[in-house]
Structure 1
Amino acid sequence: MKDVKFAITDIETTGNGIKGNRITEICVIVVQDGKVIDEYSSLVNPSQSIPLYIESLTGINDEMVLNAPQFSEIADEVERITKDCVFVAHNVNFDYNIVRAEFASIGRDFKRKRLCTVRLTKKLIPGLFSYSLGNICTSINIPHMDRHRAKGDCDATVTLFQRCLSLDPEFEVISQLLNQKTAASYLPPNFKSSDFEKLPKATGVYFFKDKDGIPIYIGKAKNIKSRIKSHFQERSNRKYKMMQETYSIDYELTGNELLALLRESELILKFFPKYNKAQKKVSRPYTLTSYHNQKGIEQFALHKNKIAPVSWMKFYTREEAIKFMEFLCEKFELCPKYCGLQAGVKYCDHYKITTCSGVCKNEISLEEYNNRVEKAVDFISAYDESCLLLEKGRTNKEKSFIYLNKGKFAGYGFISDAEDFNQPEDFRNFLNPSKTSSYADRIVSRYLNTEKNLSRIPLNTEEKELAENEAWFG
């Protein structure tokens, strides 16, 4: 390893994370066998205005870079001095990705092995209060002149790297960091790789937390470990900023995606994490209503923006509504014309439904048809009944339940796979109460309208047989 060259690099930029960020100054110092063997530094014209807050931080302004070379003019020199080197920086992913983006902007590729002095220092000098460059230099007495300028920060990083070399003479730690094949090379600088390895490959909700343990992002995943790794590998400005503030990741297993969706929605509304996009207001749903038309036929209709005196059911997409109404027509031999599926026709002529009982052609009496509609309404009413939805648990020996109170999400729980509720009310002994929301309503509605293999326990005082509903409820 003594023959390996390390290109210690520092850049100053126009700000704004990673995407759209341009270099205003760069410094590269090459170290081999602990000694400096080459050096290059230059101001860079970013071809855009430097924000005032960046000017205040670095002292670099538009006038200073006006006659400086653009990156395309120094790319050959940066390519040369870093060739056959390990790219080293303090929080290396930031500097490396911006340098790589500058090369990409001129149609050139840039790939180097990389090493982060934040991670290296945490391994070799554990227990420091902070691992920012300034605080490390203060803690271990490294001179740090001209802070927030590329040459000053790069000189300090070189001294820090040389100190690390003296603590790792056999290159054991450096070799370990260079040869990582897992997501550890993408980990946030404040997050431990050992903590990542402990994450489960299971369904649930996960929390990115800041240094005070406050959730800054909440998500759900079928495979928590895989999903979190994908966060680490994203290159958006927003994700980069979030990674810089992440100190720990927690999780909650749910065993199934339905409960994960409901818990994610509930927890976002509870904590309002800063990096979750604000939950947009759910669009007004399609409402299924019914009325007696001029012929005396009980007719179904779908409305999106109208307030109706009778409301049987809600759908959050037109596709869900149409699919359910087609099912209802076939199950109870209703007429598509009087179920909101066809308009402007004398007799129904639906491309899919051939089970119409003939009310549109006066082939059955109004009383008989309306009786069919009444049975359909009874079937629909089951959606608003209190019930338990049984789903997979967190292990093979467990199952979960989602409690719907009059059709609204009201809680969840877990029980042994071998256990059954002798009395429907027994579930309350295992219940974790939850608050519902318009998002939870939509999640439950979509699940009920699309899932054909429901395992459902009614909780009404007068239990109804579900045999007649098997075609839809499973």
Structure 2
Amino acid sequence: MKDAKFAITDIETTGSGIKGNRITEICVMVVQNGSVVDEYTTLINPEQTVPLYIESLTGINDEMVCNAPQFSEVADEIEKITQDCIFVAHNVNFDYNILKSEFSDIGRDFKRKRICTVRLTKKLIPGLFSYSLGNICTSINIPHFDRHRAGGDCEATVTLFQRCVSLDPEYEVITEFLNRKTGASYLPPHFRNSDFEKMPRTTGIYFFKDKDGIPLYIGKAKNIKTRIKSHFQERSNRKYKLMQATHSIDYELTGNELLALLREAEQILKYYPKYNKAQKQYTKPYTLTSYHNQKGIEVFALHKNKKSPISWMKFYTREEAVKFLEELCLKFNLCPKYCGLQRDLKECAHYKIQECSGMCKDEISIEEYNQRVAKAVEHTQEYESSCLLIEKGRKKGEKAFIYLSKGRYAGYGFIGESEDLSHPEDFRNYLIPQNNSAYTDRIVSRYLSTKKNIKRIELNEISEETEYYEPEDLLAGFN
């Protein structure tokens, strides 16, 4: 290892992300046995305009790079000088992935072992206020001239790397970093590998947090550790910025996917994280209603924006609603024509439901048909009942319950596998009450309408009402 060559690299680019970002300048200094043995520096024509804020930061402008070589013209030099070297940079994933992307754009591969001097410094020089290159240099008295230019930043990184080697003369830490087989090479620069290794491989929600502990992103996963690692490996500009801002990752175990979805929705509405998009746009649901037509036949209908005195169920995609109505037709032998599944037809001719009640052909009486509809309505009301949904717990010997008050999410809890929850007073001792929202309503609705073999305990004695909030009310403070 002591004879290894390290290609200390710094690049300047047209932006702060990864995708669509082009190199404007590169400097590579090869260090071997503590000394610089080779060097290569050049401006590069990015084949796009240099943004004003980048020009203000680096001093590199369109005029400086217009006559510089394009990346394809210097690729051989970069390939050659980094050959058989360990690639080193401050926040290495940025420089490495930009460079890899440039090679990919010209149809070539670029693959090197790599080390991040941010992570190396954190390990060997712990306790610094900040691990940005400029602040590290100020803290430990490293000369840093010509900042935000490839040559100046690369020289400072070389000195920093040499300082780290002096603290790791046997290359034990460097060797450890190179030999890691986990997601460590993809970790955010401010996040410790030891914390990543503690992440569980079970179901729950997770929080990417900034330096002040404020959630930046909240997600759910069946396997928290695997999902977090996949975030590290994504290459979008948005995900890169999230990783740069992340200082810690927290998690909460749920044991099952339903509760994970509900807890994710609750926490997103509570913290409104910067990098969550999914729940910022509210979509009005489709409402299942019924009415009597001119002949006196009770007809099911779906509507999205109209108000109705009768509302049986809500669906958040038309596909879910149609699927439920088709199952209702089959289960209670109804007519697709009178279930909102067909229009402008005298008789039913549904592609899936081959037989109908005969109401469309006047083969049964209106009274008999409406009795079938009444049974179907009674069936839909099961979805609005108060009950406990029983799911897998967080550990062996434990089960989780989700409390629905009149069909709406009202809380959850965890109990022993042998506990009996047949009476309200039993489960309330373990209940963690929660407010409902249109988002949790959507999750429960989808679960009830699509999940097979649901384990539920009906509750007939409900003494409390759950509060219900529309997303507009919950998000009012953020508008």
Which of the five TM-score ranges fits, normalised by the shorter chain? over 0.9
Distance (Å, rounded) in 2 between the aligned partners of 1:45 and 1:139: 35
CA offset digits 1:35-86 (Å, max 9, x no partner):
1111111122212221121112112222222222222222111111111111
Structure 2 matches for 1:329-340, cutoff 5 A? Answer: 329-340=329-340
Query: For 1:310, what is the secondary structure of its paired residue?
Result: coil
How big is the shift at 1:343? 3.2
- 1:234 is displaced (CA, Å) by 0.6
Number of positions where the alignment pairs a residue of Structure 1 with one of Structure 2: 462
Matched with 2:234 is 234
Q: 1:421: how far off?
A: 1.8
- The equivalent residue for 1:63 is 63
Partner of 1:468: none
Are 1:87 and 2:87 counterparts?
Answer: yes
SS of 1:103's partner is helix
Cα distance in 2 for partners of 1:406, 1:279 equals 24
SS in 1 for 2:456: strand
- Answer yes or no: is the 8 Å Cα contact 1:329–1:355 preserved in 2: no
Distance 1:458 1:82, change over 3 A: same
The one-letter code matched in structure 1 to 2:29 is: I
Conserved 8 A contact 2:29-2:40: yes
Task: Go from structure 1 to structure 2 and tell me whether the alpha carbon gap of 1:51 and 1:371 turns closer, same or farther (over 3 Å shift).
Answer: same
- CA separation in 2, counterparts of 1:378 and 1:76? 74
TM-fit CA distance, 1:285: 2.3
Q: CA offsets, 1:304-324, max 9 Å, x none?
A: 333323221122222222222
Instruction: Tell me if the contact between 2:30 and 2:81 (Cα under 8 Å) persists in the aligned partners.
Output: yes
Do the aligned residues in 2 keep the contact of 1:30 with 1:36 (CA within 8 Å)?
A: yes
Query: Counterpart in 1 of 2:38?
Result: 38
When structure 1 is superposed on structure 2, of 358-367 and 137-146 the one drifting more is 358-367
Alignment match, 2:414: 414
Cα distance in 1 between the residues matched to 2:168 and 2:280: 52
Q: Secondary structure at the match of 1:20?
A: coil
Cα distance between partner residues in 1 of 2:23 and 2:311: 60
Query: Residue 104 of structure 1 corresponds to which residue in structure 2?
Result: 104
Specify whether residues 326 and 425 from structure 1 end up closer, same or farther in structure 2 by C-alpha distance, changes over 3 A only. farther
The 5 Å alignment of 1:10-409 reads 10-277=10-277, 279-353=279-353, 356-409=356-409
How far 1:349 sits from its partner (Å)? 4.3
**Deviation per CA, 1:284-312, whole angstroms, max 9, x where unpaired?**
32222212222222222222333323221
Deviates more, 1:178-187 or 1:303-312: 303-312
Cα distance between partner residues in 2 of 1:107 and 1:351: 49
Residues in 1 aligned to 2:343 and 2:273: alpha-carbon distance in whole angstroms: 47
Contact 2:422/2:457, CA 8 A, preserved across alignment: no
Tell me what 2:477 maps to. none
Structure 1: which amino acid aligns with 2:36? Answer: V
Q: Deviations over 1:313-362 (max 9, x none)?
A: 12222222222222222332323332223333334344544664433344
TM-align CA RMSD: 1.7
**Counterparts of 1:263 and 1:407, CA distance in 2:** 17
Q: Deviations over 1:402-436 (max 9, x none)?
A: 11122111111111111012422322211112122
Letter in 1 for 2:385: E
**Residue 465 of structure 2: aligned partner:** none
Partners of 1:348 and 1:17 in 2: CA distance = 56
Q: 2:58 & 2:450 partners in 1: Cα distance? A: 56
> What is the TM-score normalised by the length of structure 2?
0.92
Cross-structure match for 1:9: 9
AA in 1 matched with 2:253: L
Q: What amino acid maps onto 1:2 in structure 2? A: K
- Find the residue that maps to 1:164 and give its secondary structure: helix
What residue number does 1:471 align with? none
Report percent identity of matched pairs: 76
Code of the residue aligned with 1:110 in structure 2: it is F
Report the Cα distance in structure 2 between the residues aligned to 1:424 and 1:82, rounded to whole angstroms: 69
* Alpha-carbon distance, 1:215 to partner: 0.6
Change beyond 3 A, Cα 1:46–1:343: closer
CA 378–26 in structure 1, closer or farther in 2 if over 3 Å, else same = same
- Structure 2 CA distance, aligned partners of 1:50 and 1:275? 26
Q: What's the TM-score once normalised by structure 1's chain length? A: 0.93
Work out whether residues 6 and 87 of structure 2, in 8 Å CA contact, stay in contact via their aligned partners in 1. yes
Tell me, what secondary structure is at the counterpart of 1:166? helix
Rounded Cα–Cα distance in structure 2 between residues aligned with 1:146 and 1:154? 10
Separation in structure 2 between the aligned mates of residue 344 and residue 8 of structure 1, nearest angstrom: 73
Uncovered stretches (5+) of structure 1, i.e. residues with no partner: 463-474
- Mapped to 2, the partners of 1:22 and 1:361 lie a distance apart of 69
Q: By how many angstroms is 1:280 displaced?
A: 4.1
1:401 partner letter = F
